[in-house]
Amino acid sequence: MNRNDKKYQEFRKKERKRKINNLLQNLLLTFFVVLFAFPIYWIFIGAFKQKGEFFHYPPIFLANQFKFDNFTRALTLGGSKGVTDSLIVACIGTLLVIILALFTGYGMGRFKCGGQNLSFFVLSLLFLPPIIAVLPLFIIFKYLRIVDSYIALIWSYFLINLPFAIWLIKGFIEDLPEEIESAALVDGYSRFRAFWKVTFPLIIPGVVVSALFVFVFAWNEFLFALMFTRSNVRTLPVVLSELIGGHGIQWGELSALSLVAIIPGVLLVVFFQKYLVRGLTFGAVKG
Amino acid sequence: MKEISTNVLIGKNKFAKLITFPSVFILIITVVGPFAFLLYASFFDWNLTVPAPPRFAWFYNFGLVFKDLRFWNAFKNTSVLMIAGIITQSILGLIIAFLLNRNFRLKKLAITIIALPIMVTPVVLGFNWRIIYHEHFGPLNYIIRLLGGAGSSWIADPKLALFSIFLVDTWQWTPFVTLILLAGLQSIPRQVYEAADVDGATGWQTFRRVTLPLLRPMFVLVVLFRTIWIFKIFDPVYILTGGGPGIATETLSLYTYVSWVKYWRVGYTSALGIVQLIIMTIIAMIFVRKIMRRRRA
């Protein structure tokens, strides 16, 4: 009885220690969650602040009212042009990139077409600092007279997005066993039909994820947009940066536009978190 | 079965080449042409603000790059961001990954919220942190003053500006490190821990001798990805400080941009680009080998 008592005491002691430990860990985690959420909360709250509320001490941490006049004013300040152009560039670009990458990813993943050399070429493009490409691309675009056009921007985004999408889709195809296609081929399907009817439906989730990443990358991209466009094309990040650099920064309007700008990225994280690591590490982590 | 495999092989090459070709073609004209030009231009004394025609000058531009104090300043800033960023983000990321790798309610929500910064538009990030850093009305100084500090002018103070950039980078990318390490932690089978427990290992010993070695491949990825991304950091710096005050926060990408857009030095900027390309190629080669080896395994 005594021994049992001692054991019981020890067990309770351990249990208490475990509980305290758990509580501390929860507190620490809460702290980190607040830390990472705060700047995003600040964008959100800023979008609903009135003019004077930005220059108020102490800072205002809660919105007094949820009025959308910052948004409507932001749209007239170039915001609507920014949203439209960003949508045009990102949508068309994504569509083209995905179609091209689907085929190349299939060729490379299923047939090892191009072998190691092509793999190396595609992968190394992913590491390229975009700034290096800016100068030569600018001169080429100038020569072709397409500076400040949708074509120039969509084309330059190929450099970032095409290798990315090829690599990701190639990985998704390599995950599928080859046998499922062999069966279709034996049934007399053509190569293309076997791909379209058998393989493609199976990698649709992968294609959708790749497309969303490509879309968000194009939507968020700033450097190329800054360099290759002037007035005909003005994507959202460019509009934002000009508003920031302008005289008397319009904080409220900027915050409202910022909130619009982060929507695609936030949605991607919220709904496709499962694929986030895989996408960002180009498939190196399947997690 | 044999018949099937030959069947698969027939026409394989033609079809495969046909579908692989278009993107490869686009990539080649997008990359090879421009880089040939870059290499070509880097050998010329060529400045768009000077009326003189470009003059072939051998390695003149490369000599200029290596003698250029502003290049070394940018190199130093980029390296500082890289080293400080990778160390801080790895440690913080590991701690948060451990905190997340338990069973609790709202786990999914916590992971989602922590992951949010990764995909925030970099320009927005820069702007948003400018408000947060604001000397008089920013929430950061407000909190510091509440805690008894004096507050600082984060991005206007040359001594603090680079640190402020580092903070923003850490805020955005620690979540990425966390997610990778969390994936690593989740892939460690429970039996490994049970075995360690049976052997009487303490918590610290288990961490030091079991968990860390098993996380090694993930750390390799973290280091390489962060190296690559910090190497090309541009947007947040451009918006937050524009490289300033002075050139206190100028990174390699930013300096390349300035050298092109402000001074229109075609030859010099090309040489600057080639130098960065060489550094990056070396880093990329290490990485590509690692990835390819894993793929084959």
For residues B226-243, average pLDDT = 89
pLDDT in single tens digits along all 287 residues of chain A: 566 678 888 888 888 888 888 899 999 999 999 999 999 999 888 888 887 777 777 777 777 777 788 888 888 888 889 899 999 999 999 999 999 999 898 888 888 777 777 888 888 888 888 888 888 888 888 888 999 899 999 999 998 899 999 989 988 888 888 888 888 888 888 888 888 888 888 889 889 999 999 999 999 999 999 999 888 899 999 999 888 877 777 888 888 999 999 999 999 999 988 888 888 887 777 75
Q: Give the helix ranges, DSSP H, for B121-157.
A: 122-133, 139-146
Predicted confidence at residue B6, as pLDDT, reads 42
Examine the pLDDT at B52 and tell me if it is beyond 80. no
In percent, the amount of chain B with pLDDT more than 90 equals 28
Q: How far is CA A20 from CA A23, A200, A216, B244, in A?
A: 5, 51, 42, 47
- What value of ipTM does the predicted structure carry? 0.86
Task: Between B189 and B170, name the one with better pLDDT.
Answer: B170
Phi, psi dihedrals of residue B56, rounded to the nearest 5° = -65, 130
Contacts of A244 in chain B (CB under 8 A): 123, 126-127, 130, 239
Predicted confidence at residue B292, as pLDDT, reads 62
- Burial tier of B220 (Cβ tally within 10 Å: 0-12, 13-18, 19+): middle
Examine the pLDDT at B44 and tell me if it is beyond 80. no
For residues B202-220, average pLDDT = 86
Examine the pLDDT at B110 and tell me if it is beyond 80. yes
Task: Give SS3 for A93.
Answer: helix
Predicted confidence at residue A31, as pLDDT, reads 94
Examine the pLDDT at B75 and tell me if it is beyond 80. yes
Cα nearest neighbour of B92 on chain A: A32
In this complex, the residue of B112, B257, B277 whose CB is nearest that of residue A273 is B112
Examine the pLDDT at B4 and tell me if it is beyond 70. no
Predicted confidence at residue A2, as pLDDT, reads 60
pLDDT mean across residues, chain B? 84
Is A119's Cβ below 8 Å from some Cβ in B? yes
Is A106's Cβ below 8 Å from some Cβ in B? yes
State whether B128 and A43 contact (CB < 8 Å): yes
State whether A26 and B175 contact (CB < 8 Å): no
Contacts of A254 in chain B (CB under 8 A): 127
Axis-axis angle for helices B12-41, A115-125 (nearest 10)? 50
Q: Count residue pairs from A and B with Cβ separation < 8 A.
A: 287
Predicted confidence at residue A21, as pLDDT, reads 87
Overall CATH class of domain A79-280: mainly alpha
Q: Are B185 and B191 a contacting pair, CB within 8 Å? A: no
Predicted confidence at residue B221, as pLDDT, reads 85
Compute the half-sphere exposure of residue A171: CA atoms within 13 Å on the CB side of its CA: 25
Task: Between B288 and A115, name the one with better pLDDT.
Answer: A115
Q: How many angstroms away from the CA of B169 is the closest CA of chain A?
A: 12
In this complex, the residue of A113, A240, A287 whose CB is nearest that of residue B17 is A113
Read off the pLDDT of residues B79-95 as tens digits, 9 standing for 90 and up.
999 999 999 999 999 99
Q: Which of B143, B286, B169, B186 is nearest to B229 (CA)?
A: B169
Lowest mean pLDDT among A11-20, B3-12, B172-181: B3-12
Lowest mean pLDDT among A262-266, B6-10, B177-181: B6-10
Strand partners, B45: B55
For residues B57-73, average pLDDT = 84
Contacts of B112 in chain A (CB under 8 A): 269-270, 273
Task: Give SS3 for B296.
Answer: helix
Predicted confidence at residue B291, as pLDDT, reads 62
Predicted confidence at residue B94, as pLDDT, reads 94
For residues B199-204, average pLDDT = 82
What is the signed CA dihedral for A10, A14, A15, A16, rounded to 10 degrees? 100
Print burial letters for B195-218: b (CB count within 10 Å at least 16), e (below 16).
Answer: ebeeeebeeeebeeebbeeebebb
State whether A236 and B256 contact (CB < 8 Å): no
State whether A258 and B26 contact (CB < 8 Å): no
For residues B148-158, average pLDDT = 82
Q: Are A40 and A256 a contacting pair, CB within 8 Å? A: no
Q: Which of B261, B49, B65, B260 is nearest to B57 (CA)?
A: B65
Task: Between A224 and B261, name the one with better pLDDT.
Answer: A224
Examine the pLDDT at B297 and tell me if it is beyond 50. no
Predicted confidence at residue A214, as pLDDT, reads 94
Q: Which residues contact B115 (CB under 8 A, 6 or more apart)?
A: A269, A273, A276, B175, B178, B179
Cα nearest neighbour of B6 on chain A: A182
State whether A280 and B118 contact (CB < 8 Å): yes
d(CA A221, CA A90): 10
Domains along chain B with CATH numbers: 65-296 (1.10.3720.10)
